[in-house]
Amino acid sequence: MSYRPEDIEALVRQVVNRVMGEEQTHRSALSSGKRPLIDADLIHQLPPNSTYAVPPNALITPLARQAALERHIQLQEGSDSQPAAKTNKPAIAIGADHGGYNLKEALKKMLAASHPEYEVVDCGTHSTDSVDYPDFAYAVAQLVGTGRAWRGIIIDGAGIGSCMAANKVPGVLAAMCYDQATAVNSREHNNANVLTLGAGLIGPNLAQQIVQTWLATDFGGDRHARRVDKIWAIEKRFSK
């Protein structure tokens, strides 16, 4: 069966009107305070190829589901928060762009085997398809900055861009490390809570050593605490 152009236009208009009507219905439910709303605007703020844990009893609009499909975002329904630790263990959020994907997967296996005391939260990406590193740096840093993750690890090609992006998030002290000495320094002197790595600069064995060292090193406090407090003071000047 063939359709005339005007028939196709009418059909498209019908579908759009129906979807927009449902979207408005969901928004009305939100404004009445009944249920949380997951809309297309929220989905477009998430990194592509990532996972979003949908709050209990939330309404997901049709446009949000379509946006999630287009951006390859997995909607996990029946979870408590976006994304968060599944247990009472301290959470380590980990994320990477396409250049850091393989190293991220290797580090996840290492952490699962060597550090069962932590809950690893994977913020994506989930393939080697090209993506933008700031999206995943933000996803990890936001979890750390809001206290939903204890530490964060981000991997891209050089580790520099992700470090810059993460440090824009309040509550984050991100450090790019390329050997065990810098890993120790970033923790002992700077109390870094986010580690960034350059997959194109270091191999998986060195990366694992850096992560192990970084997680095991405590903050030195004393004179270092005074200096780190001054870093936080700089952030507060621009948060008013």
pLDDT single digits (tens) 79-123: 444 444 455 789 999 999 999 999 999 999 999 999 999 999 999
Give pLDDT, residue 26. Answer: 47
Environment class of residue 110 by beta-carbon count within 10 Å: exposed (0-12), middle (13-18) or buried (19+)? middle
Over residues 33-40, the mean pLDDT reads: 72
Environment class of residue 204 by beta-carbon count within 10 Å: exposed (0-12), middle (13-18) or buried (19+)? middle
Are 83 and 60 spatial neighbours (Cβ–Cβ below 8 Å)? Answer: no
Structure tokens that stand for 220 in this block: 């030195």
Q: Which CATH class is domain 91-237?
A: alpha beta
Positions annotated as catalytic residues are 189
Is the pLDDT confidence value at 34 over 60?
A: no
DSSP 173: -
Domain ranges of the chain: 5-76, 91-237
Residue bearing tokens 């993460």: 166
Distance separating alpha carbons of residues 37 and 46, to the nearest angstrom = 15
pTM above 0.75, yes or no: no
Confidence of residue 61 (pLDDT cuts 50, 70, 90): confident
147-202 tens-digit pLDDT: 889 999 999 999 999 999 999 999 999 999 999 999 999 999 999 999 999 999 99
Q: Which of 172, 177, 200, 186 is nearest to 97 (CA)?
A: 200
